[in-house]
Structure 1
Amino acid sequence: MTAVQPQLPTEDAVEAGTTATTAVRGRSRVPWRFLAGRAAFYLFTLWAAVTINFVLPRMMKGDAVSQYLSRNRNVSPEAADALRSLLGLDTDKTLVQQYVDYWVLLLRGDLGVSLLHGLRPVTEVISQALPWTVGLVGFATVVSFAVGTVGGAVVGWRRGSRLDALIPVTTFLATIPYFWLGLLGIALFSVNLRWFPIGKAYGVGMRPEWSAEFVGQVIHHGTLPAVTIVIASLGGWMLGMRNMMLTVLDEDYVTVAQAKGLPNSRVLWRYAARNAVLPQIQSFALSIGFIVGGTIVMEMVFSYPGVGKLLLDATNAKDYALMQGVFLVITLSVLVANILADVAYAFLDPRTRQTEA
């Protein structure tokens, strides 16, 4: 007699939520080659970004000391040379020596001092401006992504209904230049209706502190710019998710799930939306990464103290140390956001884990 071979436990392909060729759950292996490749890629990207960060400011005409001397003519030549040496602009050193010194200081966590802010450490200057940008723009970006993705999924699921009217409306609002939308919001809600302040992060005479009054001031001042950011970016998230839903709903695993009699809510969120959201993850990672540096226009319109305004002032003053510090923060934020996007993408898409393994 022929021995009956025991069958391996199988998993329904629909339950896997993908169109994977096999649903057999094998022993998972750590994709060391993939991890090593991604680590090498991100390390090389970090090195290239830091190098460009070092070179670009020095290609600009003039420097921070020259700008400072043009405003303060009573500074002696010895003091000017001391300032150049302090800022890493010593003419006695070659560009290669300055590059090596920059890396040494960077590895120590020393980003230099800002001449624009009275020789204060760059880390201190950035640390005071960064929470304002991350708190406002980060919150608004997350809200717009969540609302746009969920709304796009519902609109795509109910295609042909009256909800389709939301797509052209939100897309039209997204085509309006952000600064113009912000100015309209200020004119309507600040000047005419007086519901919100015209600008700033908090009222005049207030000092930053953890108190109910100060937190209320911050929320009151930040509501209008946050709503403006959400309105300006909502259309892109909703349109992208709705188009992906229309593509995913024609897949076989969605049809099989519906044929099995699964609840519509489970088919929508467990199968259709889970796969349709994958391209949104990469876009969301880029949006999170550019939160730090992509807010110059918003902070100028609303006079909001943040990293964008800090970068603009540093560029005008040719403050190398401050410019390099802000660029470094932007670079790190983009890299970290992309790493998190890779992890989230592999978690949401089982096919990615199988391919990488």
Structure 2
Amino acid sequence: MKYILQKLGFYLVAFWAALTVNFFLPRLLPGNPVDIMLAKLAQRGPVTPEAREAVELLLGTNTEAPLIVQYGQYLGKLFTLDLGTSVAFFPASVTDIIAQTLPWTIGLIGVATVISFILGVTLGMLAGWKRGSWLDNLIPVTTMLQSVPYFWLALILLFVLGGMWDLFPLNGGYNVYETSPGWNLEFIGSVIYYGTLPALTIVISSVGGWMLGMRNMMVSTLSDDYILTAEAKGLRPVRIMTTYAARNAVLPSVAGFAISLGFVVAGSIVTEAVFSYPGIGSALLNAVGSNDYSLMQGLFLVITLSVLGANLLVDLLYSFIDPRTRARS
């Protein structure tokens, strides 16, 4: 119980620090959303002070007040889940934008991350168990693919599988001409079809890291004394590989997987930009380009919550997988 309370206290402090950084970081950028909106209005005629005040009230941005006052207002609105109005997608609210884009990113990046982790850890376990096999010799190829610039790999797959062979669509999240969003097989099938190529890009670029890490940990674990003892007892090789070696070798990968899961919400900005995928990454690019404080803060808040939540969950899970962590605390 003490271990859990310590972890909860640490993450609460980390969350408050992240909220503070989330507030001040966008305000260090040049310009502000009120001026951007007024510049658009100025194209239609002169802007009065009353108009500026109305825009500030609409966007929930009091740029004339001291920062400490704005900070207090910002924290107060968070407790009421009022994230403000988006400039980039005006007049939509930030909450609506997040609700629309978040499922796309979680569906694509989340599924691709889980697939790459399971595939990489499984292949890495087999490669470490059978050192010198063809699978072990395949690891340098997978790590080379991981070092290839992400956008370059995406463009190659897009050109070959989407352009030359016409196996997958070039952009979008679903067929907007033939299907409409809803829980029906036609729409779900279209989403899977359109998301296959972006997901394939993520899996190819990330599976090599999981394979290499798991393979090296397996090689290190197989040299421990308890593995030799298990072999001397006459246990089956499959049981030694999975129950004894892989269970201990996978611990560092689990910690890395927690971080990856946390950043699933952040999405892969490059992937969503290349494939014009309607996720969090695309919304974040639009928010930065428009100096949209409210949308940036809302997206960063969701990303922060996901990262901290995933790490807290794995910290607690880690204590059950490896009881030595509770003893050290």
| TM-score w.r.t. length of structure 1 | 0.88
Q: Kindly indicate whether the alpha-carbon contact (under 8 Å) linking 1:281 and 1:344 is maintained by their aligned counterparts in 2.
A: no
The question of 1:72 aligning with 2:41 is answered yes
Which residue, out of 155, 160, 165, partners 2:132? Answer: 160
- Paired residue secondary structure (1:72): helix
Aligned position for 2:18? 49
1:116 aligns with 2:85: no
The separation in 1 between residues aligned to 2:327 and 2:64, in whole angstroms, is 56
Consecutive unaligned residues of structure 1, counting only runs of 5 or more, are 1-29
CA distance in 1, matches of 2:76, 2:101: 25
For residues 28-49 of structure 1, the C-alpha deviation after alignment (integer angstroms, 9 at most, x for no partner) is xx4x1x2222122101110011
| Contact 1:88/1:98 (<8 A) preserved | no
Report the AA paired with residue 311 of structure 1. Answer: L
Provide the C-alpha distance between the structure 2 equivalents of 1:265 and 1:63, rounded to a whole number of angstroms: 61
Could you say which residue in structure 1 is the equivalent of 2:107? 135
**Cα–Cα, structure 1 residues 273 and 100, in superposed 2: closer, same or farther, change >3 Å?**
same
Shift of 1:89: 2.6
1:326 to 299, 307, 312: 299
Letter of the aligned partner of 1:140 in structure 2? A
In 2, are the aligned partners of 1:290 and 1:334 still within 8 Å (CA)? yes
Indicate if the aligned counterparts of 2:60 and 2:85 stay in contact, CA closer than 8 A. Answer: no
In structure 2, C-alpha distance between the alignment counterparts of 1:172 and 1:294, rounded to whole Å: 23
Q: Is 1:132–1:305's contact at 8 Å kept on the other side of the alignment?
A: yes
- Note the C-alpha offset of 1:122: 1.0
> Residue 169 of structure 1 aligns to a residue in which SS?
helix
- Contact kept, 8 Å, 2:174 with 2:191, in 1: the verdict is yes
Determine if contact 2:32/2:292 at 8 Å carries over to the other structure.
Answer: yes
Q: 8 Å contact 1:143–1:230 — kept in the other structure?
A: yes
Corresponding residue SS for 2:138: helix
User: How many Å apart are 1:323 and its aligned residue?
Assistant: 0.5
- Percent of aligned positions that are identical: 51
Alignment map for 1:163-174 (pairs within 5 Å): 163-174=135-146
Cα distance between partner residues in 2 of 1:331 and 1:280: 21
Contact 2:162 2:170 in 1 (8 A): yes
Distance in 2 between the 1:88 and 1:209 partners?
33
Counterpart position of 2:176: 204
Deviation at 1:144, TM superposition (A): 0.2
Q: Counterparts of 2:104 and 2:286 in 1: how far apart (Å)?
A: 16
Structure 1 residue 147 corresponds to structure 2 residue 116: no
Q: Which of residues 260, 264, 274 in structure 1 aligns to 2:237?
A: 264
CA separation in 1, counterparts of 2:267 and 2:295?
17
Q: Which residue identity is paired with 1:41?
A: F
Aligned-pair CA distance for 1:294: 4.2
Gaps spanning 5+ residues in structure 2: where?
A: none
Q: 2:273 aligns with which of 295, 300, 312?
A: 300
Structure 1 residue aligned with 2:32, among 48, 58, 63? 63
CA contact (8 A) 2:105 2:267 kept: no
1:7-86 equivalences under 5 Å are 30=1, 32=2, 34-73=3-42, 74=44, 76-77=47-48, 78-86=50-58
1: distance between equivalents of 2:62 and 2:300?
Answer: 22
Asked whether the 8 Å contact 1:173–1:235 carries over to 2, the reply is: yes
CA distance in 2, matches of 1:307, 1:237: 25
Residue 215 of structure 2, aligned match among 232, 242, 245: 242
Report the CA distance between 1:236 and its aligned residue.
0.2
Aligned partner of residue 136 in structure 2, secondary structure: helix
Give the one of 129, 149, 170 matched to 1:177: 149
Q: Which residue of 2 aligns with 1:233?
A: 206
Q: CA RMSD in A?
A: 1.3
What is the aligned partner in structure 1 of residue 225 from structure 2?
Answer: 252
Q: Please give the per-residue CA displacement for 1:227-270, whole angstroms capped at 9, x wherever unaligned.
A: 11000001000000000001100111111011101111111111
Could you tell me which residue of structure 2 aligns to residue 315 of structure 1?
288
Kept after mapping to 1: 8 A contact 2:142/2:208: yes
Cα offset, 1:168, TM superposition: 0.9
Q: Is the 8 A contact 1:132 1:306 kept in 2?
A: yes
User: Which residue of structure 2 aligns with residue 337 of structure 1?
Assistant: 310
Q: Distance in 2 between matches of 1:91 and 1:202?
A: 40
Q: Which residue of 2 aligns with 1:10?
A: none
TM-superposed CA distance for 1:92, in Å, is 4.2
1:294 & 1:109 partners in 2: Cα distance?
A: 22
